[in-house]
Amino acid sequence: MAETLFEKIWNAHVVAAETADTPAILYVDLHLVHEVTSPQAFSELRQRGLKLRRPVRMLATLDHSTPTLPTNDDGSRPYANVEAQAQVAQLEANCGEFGVELHGWDSEDRGIVHVIGPELGATQPGMTIVCGDSHTSTHGAFGALAFGIGTTEVGHVMATQCLLQRRPKTMAIHVDGQLPPGVGAKDLILHIIGSIGVDGGTGYVLEYRGAAIEALTMDERMTVCNMSIEAGARAGLIAPDDTTFAWLKGRPRAPQGEAWEHAVAQWRALRSDDGARYDREVRIDAGAVKPTVTYGTHPGMAIAMDAPVPAATNAQERRALDYMQSRPGQPMQGTPVDVVFIGSCTNSRLSDLREAARVLRGRRVADGVRMLVVPGSEAVRRDAEREGLHHLFTAAGAEWRVPGCSMCIAMNGDLAQPGQLVVSTSNRNFEGRQGKGARTVLASPATAAASAVAGRIADPREYLVEVAA
């Protein structure tokens, strides 16, 4: 029978089948760990006298609570508070005690968990991947079934390498046509979430497919899959293809030599069969996507930046517009900006930094605007510095930081002040997400950079054209 990509991966990982009374027991191939959602799980294991079932299937890093400023003169790190420092120390101790590979401060590979998994080649097609982090959906870009779990489940995977799961429904998102010049993956996914709604994907695994998806680079596919959770879907998938294989080849944890050829042969079967049935199908016209931003307080409140902000239809939307100070009938384009943040597991990879740099080259961040550029990993930082991007950013007046989640979750001290408007390449524009009272507008790296230069939300296409001329 014709199967979807999701069904193929799911079926290959069932340890015990689902029944009316019990969920399936699903095997987990890769468990990613960071400092925020793991300490209570390690404690639970310790209390019960349990060991990790397969520590080799785990990979840990420090990213959420870590400062992005360089070390102090005395070699200490400028943590936001003692709790953040203690949390990092706790993960270091836990990984030491339980024997987990940790990419900590002294690792050349440290970075945001969803950036380093793929970089190291740990993320591979056909795998099941989990992490105590909702943006685990990022890894779906490689044709892996990847989703966020809570801390209790982190403990389940540590002790048994398995999860109890009911099979989700499937939704195909066909993206036909071609994205217009100057319009990117971030615009596309904001457009998709704006179309299906902030809860449109609840209960589903999304499969992005169609010509516009196949044309995306791996970095762009990660941006799209990353935000699947912002539509309520736990996972997003893209079938692996030659783009995927070329990207993975030679990475440290990827299969090598003959094993590589064997793996690729198997991975080629990881696509939805003709005639496979989804529970729901949605069609999106890539050609109609414009530079897109959010105007409210959840990612589903997204529109083309030159389109008028819709009037509120209920108290919730009124509250969101009031909080954002967005004016119905007026476009978001032109709104004055206080802070610009380029980073996060959505948009902190080398191509994102290059995109911002293309806009900033030969220009300056507007007076009164603060701009932070936070690479997703040490590898991204090295590559960017090799190209001189750090000089370009600092010459333009931006701050060049040490890798981490930074202002996306704003728990490490990087945050905006009450009332400030932040154009951010991250994934969530919830009230207070980037600091109490801070107003977040989600955007692509190009839009964020253009807005930094203009001091107002600006269309990056005007800047990209000038550079090309």
8 lines the binding site for other proteins (CB under 8 A): no
Cα–Cα distance measured from residue 194 to residue 259, given in angstroms and rounded to the nearest whole number: 42
Residue 406: burial class (beta carbons within 10 Å; 0-12, 13-18, 19+): buried
Strand partners, 285: 176
Residue whose CB is less far from other proteins, 121 or 168: 168
134 lines the binding site for other proteins (CB under 8 A): yes
* In contact, 112 and 377? CB cutoff 8 Å: yes
| Binding-site size, other proteins (CB under 8 A) | 63
Determine how β-strand 302-304 pairs with β-strand 292-294.
Answer: antiparallel
Cα–Cα distance measured from residue 381 to residue 304, given in angstroms and rounded to the nearest whole number: 31
Residue whose CB is less far from other proteins, 225 or 454: 225
Please report which residue ranges of 325-398 form alpha helices under DSSP H: 350-360, 378-386, 389-396
Q: Scan residues 309-338 and list those touching other proteins (CB under 8 A).
A: 314-316, 319
Residue whose CB is less far from other proteins, 83 or 281: 83
Closest CA to 60 of 124, 164, 133, 146: 133
Closest CA to 118 of 253, 308, 237: 253
* In contact, 400 and 406? CB cutoff 8 Å: no
What string marks each residue from 221 to 240 as x (binds other proteins by CB under 8 A) or -?
-----------x-x------
- Is 405 assigned to a binding site? yes
Stretch that binds other proteins, among 130-138, 215-223, 275-283, 383-391 (CB under 8 A): 130-138
Largest Cα–Cα separation, the chain? 66
* In contact, 436 and 143? CB cutoff 8 Å: no
Cα–Cα distance measured from residue 104 to residue 287, given in angstroms and rounded to the nearest whole number: 43
Residue whose CB is less far from other proteins, 409 or 446: 409
Stretch that binds other proteins, among 20-28, 120-128, 276-284, 371-379 (CB under 8 A): 20-28
199 lines the binding site for other proteins (CB under 8 A): yes
Cα–Cα distance measured from residue 291 to residue 304, given in angstroms and rounded to the nearest whole number: 6
CB of 300 to other proteins, least distance (A): 8
252, 436, 465, 467: which one binds other proteins (CB under 8 A): 436
What string marks each residue from 257 to 296 as x (binds other proteins by CB under 8 A) or -?
----------------------------------------
Binding residue numbers for [4Fe-4S] cluster: 345, 405, 408
Question: Which stretches of the chain bind other proteins, using CB under 8 A?
Answer: 15-16, 20-23, 25, 27, 36-37, 39-40, 43-44, 48, 53, 64-65, 81, 83-84, 86-87, 90, 132-134, 148-153, 155-156, 159-162, 164, 166, 198-199, 202-203, 232, 234, 298, 300, 314-316, 319, 409-411, 415, 428, 430-433, 436
